[in-house]
């Protein structure tokens, strides 16, 4: 059984593995797709290799992701944010306008609450 890596590097590797698995790729398949060889991704995921940012970008793009997602510090929050953004993207203009009105109301209420606190 593999030992879990710790620290920022370990968390980055965990996010990279999650992105690869979400794309439905094996480490071997991904290594071949980015022209790095069969074992390259496994070595990255085990911490033996650590790719440059350019190579990381190539890897996550092949998985349908981005460096932003990879480096986002709260992966679960990132996924929730992306679901929200995707939901807004598919809204028609009327829905977007209604959402903007709702945000304005919420912002105004938050501003009122700040004034009351002072």
Q: Identify the DSSP state of 30.
A: H
Q: How far apart are the first and last CA of the chain?
A: 56
| pLDDT tens-digit readout, 106-117 | 888 888 877 777
Question: Cα separation of 37 and 23, whole Å?
Answer: 18
pLDDT at 11 (0 to 100): 83
pTM of the prediction?
Answer: 0.59
pLDDT at 29 (0 to 100): 96
**Mean model confidence pLDDT for the chain:** 85
Does the pLDDT at position 28 exceed 90?
yes
Can you give the residue ranges of every domain in the chain? 7-71, 75-117
Question: Cα separation of 25 and 91, whole Å?
Answer: 31
Which CATH code for domain 7-71?
1.10.260.40
Give which of 80, 81, 59 is closest to 70, Cα–Cα: 59
């Amino acid at each position: 059984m593999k030992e879990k890596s710790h620290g920022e590097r370990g968390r980055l590797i965990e996010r990279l593995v999650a992105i690869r698995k979400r794309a439905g790729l094996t480490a071997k398949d991904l290594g071949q797709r980015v022209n790095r060889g069969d074992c390259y991704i496994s070595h990255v995921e085990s911490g033996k290799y650590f790719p440059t940012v350019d190579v990381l970008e190539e890897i996550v793009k092949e998985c349908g992701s981005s460096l932003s997602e990879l480096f986002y510090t709260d992966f679960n929050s990132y996924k929730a944010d992306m679901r929200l953004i995707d939901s807004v993207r598919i809204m028609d203009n009327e829905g977007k306008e209604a959402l903007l009105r709702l945000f304005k109301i919420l912002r105004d209420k938050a501003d009122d609450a700040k004034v009351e606190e002072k």
